């Protein structure tokens, strides 16, 4: 990862990773293609139990493991120490053992997912060099439903900005802007259940964009109780299912393609002012969630490689123009 200190943007130049031919590595039965489990929920008779590192079981419901295509790393020869902004952990949370749409998963499965997600975030914040844990889902047709969980040694610029803006607004107006939004959005509420509300934001950036917000001021997702998780799982399942149907009726071929981003506070700052929420919007064209939501840009082509190609092209162009070929 490199830092553009003129624009204040972080840029990741990922290392190339090998492909796994023809087989989905996240599917049940293909665990040998993945990295070892970090945490998973497995069936043990009639009950589900959590298992941690290296206690592999085939009968899993939710499974977290290191990404096979990590965009940050703790050791790949490219990161020198934990202050390096490319230092971090990239985990994948497989939402289901098969390719069921996340919009149509049972609510119980969403509860399982959210509980394991809480555990994983807590675990990552205990590790060195973790300033921020980014959580998002980039759900694409034909790809295994999963959540990406990526840590950064610096707080992503967009999150820093959002936290500052929530702070400032709270001080200036005496009330949290997200609390205010939930109170003022009754005409844009799409679903409400106990402690959670889903609304279409007034200034939606995307068609069919919606936010899922805890109604009481709550700074972090990890502090949700089991009861909160049950309610949130229901609201997520209902609204995602609604989105799926809406898009299907509007004849959108990619009705199962959406981004879902957890807007979580920068933990180390103990930001009590922050009010966490989830943002969801369908994918209309190729978009990069990290770029649009975290202001972290993925550049597949190394600038050095680009330089070689561009300078070669420039020299050829120059020669043509001067007629020296
Ligand atoms: Zn799969
Ligand atoms: Zn609030």
CATH code of residue 9: 3.30.428.10
With bands split at pLDDT 50, 70 and 90, how would you rate the model's confidence at 16? very low
Average pLDDT over residues 215-241: 94
Instruction: Over range 120-148, report the average pLDDT.
Output: 93
CB atoms closer than 10 angstroms to residue 2: 14
CA 126 – ligand 2 centroid, Å = 26
Measured CA angle at 249 (ends 244, 252), to 5 deg: 75
- Residue 227: what pLDDT? 97
Q: Is the pLDDT of residue 56 over 80?
A: no
Question: For residue 252, is pLDDT > 70?
Answer: no
pLDDT of the residue at 323: 75
Average pLDDT over residues 140-154: 91
The neighbourhood of ligand 1, an ion, using CB within 5 A, equals 24, 26-27, 144
Rounded-to-integer distance, Cα 231 and Cα 213, Å? 11
Q: How far is the CA of 209 from the centre of ligand 2 (A)?
A: 20
262 or 295, greater pLDDT: 262
State mean pLDDT over 187-211. 85
For residue 255, what are its two tokens? 């009705």
**Structure tokens that stand for 165 in this block:** 């803006």
Residue 146 has pLDDT above 50, yes or no: yes
**What's the pLDDT at 18?**
42
Q: How many CB atoms lie within 10 A of CB 283?
A: 17
**Residue of higher predicted confidence among 246 and 264:** 264
Please tell me the distance between residue 265's alpha carbon and the centre of ligand 2 in angstroms: 12
**Is residue 278 domain-resident?**
yes
Tokens 């919009």 sit on residue: 103
In a domain, 214, yes or no: yes
**Is the confidence at residue 109, as pLDDT, over 90?**
yes
Q: How many domains does the chain have?
A: 1
Q: What is the share, in percent, of the chain residues with pLDDT greater than 90?
A: 44
Provide the pLDDT confidence category of residue 76 given band limits of 50, 70 and 90: low
What is the percent of the chain with per-residue pLDDT over 70, rounded to a whole number?
Answer: 78
Position 43 in a domain: yes
| 324 domain residue, yes or no | no
- Of 40-54, 73-87, 139-153, give the lowest mean pLDDT range: 73-87
Q: Of 105, 109, 17, which is closest to residue 60 (Cα–Cα)?
A: 109
Q: Bigger pLDDT: 4 or 155?
A: 155
Compute the distance between CA of residue 134 and CA of residue 148 in angstroms, rounded to an integer.
Answer: 8
Mean pLDDT of the region 219-238: 94
Is the pLDDT score of 23 beyond 80? yes
Q: Is residue 121 part of a domain?
A: yes
Give the distance (Å) from ligand 1 centre to CA of residue 268.
Answer: 35
Per the structure, the complete domain to which residue 104 belongs is given by 2-303
Q: Give the whole-angstrom CA distance, residue 110 versus residue 236.
A: 8
Does residue 313 lie within any of the structural domains?
A: no
**Among candidate residues 302, 296, 301, the one with its CA nearest the CA of residue 10:** 296
230 within domain boundaries: yes
In a domain, 325, yes or no: no
């Amino acid at each position: 990862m490199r830092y553009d200190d003129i624009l204040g943007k972080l840029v990741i130049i990922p290392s190339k990773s090998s492909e796994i031919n023809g087989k989905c590595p996240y599917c049940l039965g293909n665990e040998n293609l993945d990295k070892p489990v970090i945490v998973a929920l497995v069936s043990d008779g009639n009950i589900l139990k959590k298992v941690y590192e290296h206690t592999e079981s085939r009968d899993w419901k939710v499974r977290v493991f290191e990404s096979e295509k990590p965009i940050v790393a703790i050791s790949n020869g490219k990161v020198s120490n934990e202050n390096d902004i490319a230092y971090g952990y990239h985990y994948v949370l497989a939402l289901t053992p098969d390719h069921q749409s996340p919009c149509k998963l049972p609510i119980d499965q969403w509860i399982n997912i959210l509980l394991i997600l809480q555990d994983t975030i807590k675990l990552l914040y205990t590790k060195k060099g973790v300033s921020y844990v980014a959580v998002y889902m980039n759900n694409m047709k034909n790809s295994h439903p999963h959540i990406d969980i990526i840590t950064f040694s610096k707080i992503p610029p967009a999150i820093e900005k959002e936290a500052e803006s929530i702070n400032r607004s709270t001080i200036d107006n005496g009330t949290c802007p997200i609390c205010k939004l939930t109170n003022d959005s009754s005409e844009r509420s799409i679903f409400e259940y106990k402690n959670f509300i889903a609304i279409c934001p007034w200034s939606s950036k995307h068609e069919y964009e919606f936010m899922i917000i805890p109604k009481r001021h709550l700074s972090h997702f990890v502090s949700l109780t089991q009861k909160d998780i049950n309610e949130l799982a229901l609201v997520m399942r209902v609204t995602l299912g609604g989105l799926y149907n809406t898009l299907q009726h509007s004849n959108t071929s990619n009705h199962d393609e959406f981004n879902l981003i957890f807007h979580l506070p920068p933990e180390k700052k103990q930001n009590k002012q922050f009010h966490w929420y989830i943002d969801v919007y369908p994918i209309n064209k190729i978009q990069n969630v990290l770029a649009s939501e975290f202001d972290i840009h993925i550049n597949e082509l190394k600038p050095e490689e680009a330089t070689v190609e561009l300078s070669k092209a420039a020299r050829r162009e120059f020669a043509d123009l001067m007629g020296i070929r």
